[in-house]
C-alpha cells in the first residue's frame, strides 16, 4: 500500500492582488508569490503579458477554487498607443510591418471610439495564446507560419481618451470583459485612423471585484518575508503555530477567499447547517429574505466562506466546500 505523499508548503488561503512589474511573466509571478508565502497551492486569474504591468490576482490554497469567478470579472486597463507604425506583435516587442507619417488629432480619435464600445467583433493578435488547430497562435507565428485567427465577440463597456502627451502618442482607459485584447484595440484604431499604431505601455488597474487599493508590490512582500532560520539553529521552534506567527505580517496582505464571490447571493448559516454542508448535505434556508432559487450562490459560517452551490426550492445544495 503506497503512502500518501506529504504536501509541501503552508495551507494558507486567500487572494493576493499583486502589482506585477514589467518584465515578469504571469507564471513566474505565481511561482514567486507561492515561494514567498511557502504556500501549498497557487494560481492566477487572467494572464498579463510580460511587457504589461499591474493587477494580477493570485489565489492561494482554497482561493484557487474561486479563480473562474475573478476571471469573469470586468477589467480596466490604462494604455498608451504610439502612432505611426504597426508591429507584428501589436506592441513594442515586434518588428515594424507598416508605417505612416500621418498623426491623428483629438477630434479624430474621439470620433472613432464609439466603434469600439458595446459588443464588438475583434481579431486577437497573431502573437497570442489563442489555439489554432490545437496549437498556440504565438508558436505558429514564431515558426514563420501565416496565422489566420477568426474574429470573436468581446464586450467593451467604456473606452476613453485620457491624454495626448504629444502628436505620436495617446493614452486611453478601457473597461472590458473577458477575452478582450487591448493590443488589438491599438492595432484596429490605428488602421481606422489611417496612421497605424501599437501598444507602447499597458497597465491593468482593476479586475472586479478588486481595485487599485488592493495592490501589493513585490518590494512590500520581500520586506515582509521572514528571514530563513539559520541551519541547525538551536532552540528554533518549528511548530505550526510558530511558523504561522513568522508569516503573520505577510499573511496580512491576503484578502479573504470569499471576496471573489461578491457577485453571488450569500447566505449565513447556523452551526448546525454548516455542519451538514461540511458533510456534503443540502440544507433548507430559513428566514424571510432567504433566496428560493439561484443558479449559483454561496454560504458562509461565522463570516467565512463555506461552500458554493445552487438554491432550488429554498434548499441550498453544495457543489464546492471550502476547508479554509
Whether 49 is catalytic is: yes
Set of cell numbers at residue 80: 498608451
Alpha-carbon distance of 170 to 59, in angstroms, equals 34
Which of 49, 91, 188, 214 does the annotation list as catalytic?
49
Any bridge partners for residue 79, and if so which? 172, 202
Alpha-carbon distance of 178 to 72, in angstroms, equals 6
Measured CA to CA in angstroms, residue 304 lies from 58, 79, 210, 275 at distances of 19, 37, 18, 14
> Which of 46, 67, 78 has the alpha carbon at shortest distance from 179?
46
* HEC readout, the chain: CCCCCCCCCECCCEEEEEEECCCCCHHHHHHHHHHHHCECCEEECCCCCCCCEEEEEEEEHHHHHHHHHHHCCCEEEEEEEEECEEECCCECCCCEEEECCCCCCHHHHHHHHHHHCEEEEECCCCCCCCEECCEEHHHHHHCCCCCCCCCEEEEEEEEEEEEEEECCEEEEEEEECCCCCHHHHHHHHHHHHCCCEEEEEEEEEEECCECHHHCECHHHHHHHCCCCCCCCCCCCCCCHHHHHHHCHHHHCCCECHHHHHCCCCEEECCHHHHHHHHCCCCEECCCCCCCCCEEEEEEEECCEEEEEEEEECCEEEEEEECCC
Widest Cα–Cα separation across the chain:
74
Residues with catalytic function: 49
Amino acid at each position: 500500500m503506497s503512502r500518501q505523499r506529504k504536501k509541501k508548503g503552508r495551507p494558507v488561503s486567500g487572494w493576493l492582488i499583486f502589482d506585477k512589474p514589467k518584465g515578469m511573466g504571469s507564471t513566474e509571478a505565481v511561482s514567486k508569490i507561492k515561494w514567498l508565502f511557502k504556500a501549498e497551492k497557487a494560481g492566477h486569474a487572467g494572464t498579463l503579458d510580460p511587457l504589461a504591468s499591474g493587477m494580477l490576482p493570485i489565489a492561494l490554497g482554497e482561493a484557487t477554487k474561486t479563480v473562474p469567478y475573478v476571471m469573469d470579472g470586468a477589467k480596466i486597463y490604462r494604455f498608451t498607443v504610439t502612432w505611426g507604425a504597426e508591429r507584428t506583435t501589436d506592441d513594442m516587442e515586434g518588428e515594424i510591418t507598416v508605417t505612416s507619417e500621418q498623426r491623428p488629432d483629438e477630434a479624430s480619435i474621439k470620433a472613432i471610439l464609439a466603434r469600439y464600445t458595446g459588443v464588438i467583433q475583434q481579431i486577437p493578435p497573431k502573437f497570442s495564446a489563442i489555439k489554432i488547430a490545437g496549437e498556440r497562435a504565438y508558436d505558429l507565428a514564431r515558426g514563420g507560419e501565416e496565422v489566420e485567427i477568426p474574429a470573436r465577440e468581446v464586450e467593451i463597456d467604456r473606452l476613453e481618451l485620457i491624454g495626448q502627451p504629444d502628436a505620436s502618442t495617446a493614452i486611453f482607459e478601457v473597461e472590458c470583459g473577458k477575452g478582450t485584447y487591448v493590443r488589438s484595440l491599438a492595432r484596429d484604431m490605428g488602421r481606422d485612423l489611417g496612421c497605424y499604431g501599437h501598444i507602447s505601455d499597458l497597465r491593468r488597474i482593476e479586475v472586479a471585484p478588486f481595485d487599485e487599493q488592493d495592490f501589493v508590490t513585490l518590494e512590500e512582500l520581500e520586506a515582509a518575508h521572514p528571514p530563513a532560520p539559520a541551519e541547525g539553529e538551536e532552540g528554533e521552534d518549528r511548530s505550526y503555530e510558530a511558523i504561522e506567527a513568522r508569516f503573520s505580517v505577510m499573511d496580512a496582505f491576503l484578502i479573504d477567499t470569499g471576496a471573489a464571490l461578491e457577485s453571488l447571493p450569500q447566505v449565513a448559516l447556523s452551526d448546525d447547517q454548516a455542519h451538514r454542508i461540511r458533510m456534503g448535505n443540502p440544507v433548507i434556508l430559513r428566514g424571510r429574505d432567504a433566496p428560493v432559487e439561484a443558479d449559483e450562490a454561496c454560504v458562509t459560517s461565522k463570516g467565512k466562506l463555506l461552500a458554493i452551490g445552487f438554491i432550488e426550492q429554498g434548499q441550498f445544495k453544495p457543489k464546492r466546500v471550502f476547508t479554509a
